[in-house]
Amino acid sequence: MSNCNSCPSKNKCSTKDTGCNIINNPNNKIKNIIGVMSGKGGVGKSTVTSLLAKKLNSMGYTVGILDADITGPSIPRLMGVKDAKAFSNGKGIVPICNPQNIKVMSINLMVASESEPIVWKGPIVSNAVKQFYTDVLWGELDYLLIDMPPGTGDVALTVMQNIPINGIVMVSIPQDLVSMIVSKAVKMANMLNIDVLGVVENMSYIQCPDCDKKIKLFDGDETEKFLSDMNLSLLGELPMTKEIVNITHHGVTEISDELDSTLESIVNKIK
């Protein structure tokens, strides 16, 4: 039971002590763990993770981001810490704090050059993700957000089985092909009894900077059907604006009032 004392799922967990795969670090006190997932790549999981972290932080919560995308990590650039290097202090791995004091751990904080490829087999990748939970000195956090990689393979399974996540935010875009693949991720979470908190629809539209016209790029938007088939609610919609797209280039710095109000509405539904 000692392992349960530092578990964010203490008193909310249906697993008896036997059969629990989770190793909690007694040095950490994490209140809530939220996974950001999609199943599909390139829909904006890392961008949504970074924006939610920034918003929670500005509301006064202490926040960490665990970048579980080992072979395609985006978080260090998005959080403005791409040149930092994490180190171990003997007790564990010390995460990097970004200028807003958001704690970050990513494989790209541990390699000599950020473009160095991680050519590892599945079990080794999964072990790295487990260590990012178990061996990192997160300290006290109100929220730990986990940026998950595409797919429903090894890493997704490891996060769902070895980290006591309280819920998942699914990120999708209004494209039928993507909804199909996101459905796979939702069904996987259901199989593993993980709560899906709702869906953030990214790239809902593009606004032409010249004529202000809102461009709906995708035909056959069946978002409502997808949400009702999967029994999920829409947490919010993010347009494909220069502000959001270029977060990947400039990092999350200032946020416009419009985006801030969308984020506030999303955060209020999941916190």
Phi, psi at residue 140, to the nearest 5°?
Answer: -90, 125
Q: Is 40 in the site for a second copy (CB under 8 A)?
A: yes
Stretch in the footprint of a second copy (CB under 8 A) among 8-16, 49-57, 171-179, 255-263: 171-179
Enumerate residues 6+ apart whose C-beta is below 8 A from 163. Answer: 22, 33, 35, 129, 130, 133, 146
- Could you identify the residue written with the tokens 């980290």? 163
Which of 105, 188, 194, 270 touches a second copy by CB under 8 A?
A: 188
Which of 8, 39, 198, 239 touches a second copy by CB under 8 A?
A: 39
Q: Is 232 in the site for a second copy (CB under 8 A)?
A: no
Q: Is 32 in the site for a second copy (CB under 8 A)?
A: no
Which residue, 99 or 153, has its beta carbon nearer to a second copy? 153
Q: Is 185 in the site for a second copy (CB under 8 A)?
A: yes
Q: Is 122 in the site for a second copy (CB under 8 A)?
A: yes
Q: Is 213 in the site for a second copy (CB under 8 A)?
A: yes
Q: Is 205 in the site for a second copy (CB under 8 A)?
A: no
| Amino acid at the residue 22 | I
Q: Is 146 in the site for a second copy (CB under 8 A)?
A: no
Token duo for residue 242 = 């220069």
- Could you identify the residue written with the tokens 């924006």? 51
CA torsion sign, 259 to 264 to 270 to 271?
positive
Which of 135, 142, 176, 264 touches a second copy by CB under 8 A?
A: 176
How far apart CA 268 and CA 271 sit, in angstroms, is 6
Which of 11, 210, 224, 231 touches a second copy by CB under 8 A?
A: 210
Which residue, 1 or 119, has its beta carbon nearer to a second copy? 119
Which residue, 39 or 64, has its beta carbon nearer to a second copy? 39
- Beta strands 140-147; 63-67: pairing state: parallel
Stretch in the footprint of a second copy (CB under 8 A) among 19-27, 54-62, 98-106, 179-187: 179-187
CA-CA distances (angstroms) from residue 178 to 42, 170, 172, 196?
10, 12, 7, 17
Token duo for residue 83 = 């040149």
- Could you identify the residue written with the tokens 């629990």? 20
Q: Is 268 in the site for a second copy (CB under 8 A)?
A: no
Q: Is 114 in the site for a second copy (CB under 8 A)?
A: yes
Which of 30, 36, 37, 43 touches a second copy by CB under 8 A?
A: 43
CA-CA distances (angstroms) from residue 116 to 66, 143, 149?
19, 30, 18
Which residue, 43 or 86, has its beta carbon nearer to a second copy? 43
Angle of helix 176-191 relative to helix 154-162, nearest 10 degrees, comes to 40
- Could you identify the residue written with the tokens 């199989």? 191
Binding-site members for ATP are 39-46
How far apart CA 231 and CA 169 sit, in angstroms, is 14
How far apart CA 111 and CA 205 sit, in angstroms, is 37
Binding site for a second copy (CB under 8 A): 39-43, 70-74, 77-78, 114-123, 125, 149-154, 156-157, 175-178, 180-181, 183-185, 187-188, 191, 206, 208-211, 213, 215, 217-220, 240, 242, 245-246, 248-250
